[in-house]
Amino acid sequence: MIWDHLERRRLKSGPGHALWDQPSGVFPQVDSHGDQPSWYYTERVVECLVTAANLVSRPPLRSEMLTELASELLNEADHLFDRELLGGAGEAGPSLRSSLQTARASLRRARDVLSDRPGTAFVLASDVLRELEQLAAARQDVFEVE
């Protein structure tokens, strides 16, 4: 892993303590330069870390296709959720009410993040659809038993 590599390249002591300039820590066949520091590798590592931080700080790449799929899933989940409420599920017991409240919160969150994080919206809508399907399957099992 990159972090292990960097850690092993650090100088352990001396005036350059903690700089990244000891290749022999990773490559035993390379002669150690002792404890005399050179800023060259440390500067390169810091440049890479700054570049990585800038990249990770940006919003994730968004795919138009993923946004459309997430939107379609969200529409279906909204529709089925509304149908559940219309069918009286909101008046059911505490466990079902809790499931519906969680679904409502997930749908709201999915709508909030759809434009910036369509993958997250997709997963949230999928979770709601899964929960609503479980409710429908349980209801069907009850009717089949009766």
| pLDDT 10s digits, 112-144 | 999 999 999 999 999 999 999 988 887 776 666
In the prediction, which pLDDT does 53 show?
A: 93
Contact 55, 35 (CB under 8 A): no
Supply the pTM of this predicted model.
0.64
Q: Where are the domains of the chain?
A: 2-57, 64-145
CA distance 125 to 121: 6
CA distance 118 to 113: 7
Structure tokens at 101: 């409240």
Long-range contacts of 14-23 (CB under 8 A, 24+ apart): 20/45
Residues 6+ apart with CB under 8 A from 16: 35, 36, 37, 38
Decide if pLDDT at 21 tops 80.
Answer: no
